[in-house]
Amino acid sequence: MKALVYDGVETLNFRDMPDPVAGTHEHLIKVEAVGICGSDMHAFLGHDARRPAPLILGHEAAGVIVGGNMDGRRVTVNPLVTCMSCDACKAGRVNLCPNREIISMMPREGAFAQYITMPDSNLVTVPENVSLAEAALAEPLAVSWHAARLALEALHPSMKKRALVIGGGAIGLAAALALKAMGANDVTIAEPNPARRDYLNKTCGQVTLAKAEGQFEVVIDAVGYAATRAAASACVMPGGVITHVGLGEDTGGLDVRRMTLQEITFIGTYTYTAQDFRDTAQAIFDGRLGALDWTETRGLNDGQNAFEDLRAGRVAAPKIILDPWI
């Protein structure tokens, strides 16, 4: 098969790789659409020691099962594989499984490839009226669904649900869509890139700011740098909630004194539960997350250029979807 292989810092090559072989209770999947995630960019830039080269990146995938009694079944892929026997898994918090694996991190190669294998339990059937490019958004949307759910569950019931999302990439836009689907209708996205801000306004119908300012009951930091954490600390109201989903840099930015004196809740969020993933997929299928027309599609063989364009800020769309068969 052909795959886009991370061969070193800022180096991706579209080349032949061995075909994957499905194990027990697994399916071979022909990948039809796979998104570029921020974590893929971190690896591309050499910032993720967990993803050493050479490695096939990519974990936001949808495709069609090949062979077996499920041949032809259209599926979206939950890339987290967990043990299902630890305390976290038994409690339904599979994202906290100490033995979790994710495709795009060894020992599981990723989905920037024409084929992958996945356990049956990680697959959600996609109805015919939903495109596989839309279905591939289930993974990043689930990240934001999880973050939005935790924020609203932690918010005191006496407080309004005005929300600020910092960062207008796929995770930020998805957080805004999830918040609205959960009943928080007053949502603003802070996005400094003027081209992306214009895209969010005109194509996605979102309310945006050039920088984070104002006061909000809920703030979701979808970037995760010291500067955005500082902005989140300044913009959250007393008694409000910050959920932190971005993984930009490790330290700095939080105003811990203000958080302590004004009883501000801070929640770090990582991926999603299996139920979050299923709920997100169903929300896509039901249309509750709106028209998912805010992507740009390119061939997997153009992956190097796609990463370079994203890094340079030349992409207005919040998400690039790669097609392994163009």
The mean pLDDT of 52-75, rounded to a whole number, is 97
Give the integer Cα–Cα distance in Å for 112 and 6.
10
Q: DSSP 3-state assignment of 119?
A: strand
pLDDT tier for residue 14 given thresholds of 50, 70 and 90: very high
Whole-model pTM? 0.94
User: Mind listing the pLDDT tens digit for each residue in 300-313?
Assistant: 999 999 999 999 98
Q: What is the pLDDT of residue 270?
A: 87
pLDDT at 189 over 90: yes
- Please report, for the chain, the start and end positions of each structural domain, with discontinuous segments joined by +: 2-137+292-323, 141-268
* Size (the chain), residues: 326
User: Mind listing the pLDDT tens digit for each residue in 117-132?
Assistant: 999 999 999 999 999 9
Q: What is the mean pLDDT of the chain?
A: 96
Q: Tell me the sheet residues that pair with 61.
A: 34
* Topology of the domain covering 2-137+292-323: Quinone Oxidoreductase; Chain A, domain 1 (3.90.180)
**What CATH number has the domain spanning 141-268?**
3.40.50.720
Q: Which of 62, 263, 13 is nearest to 159 (CA)?
A: 263
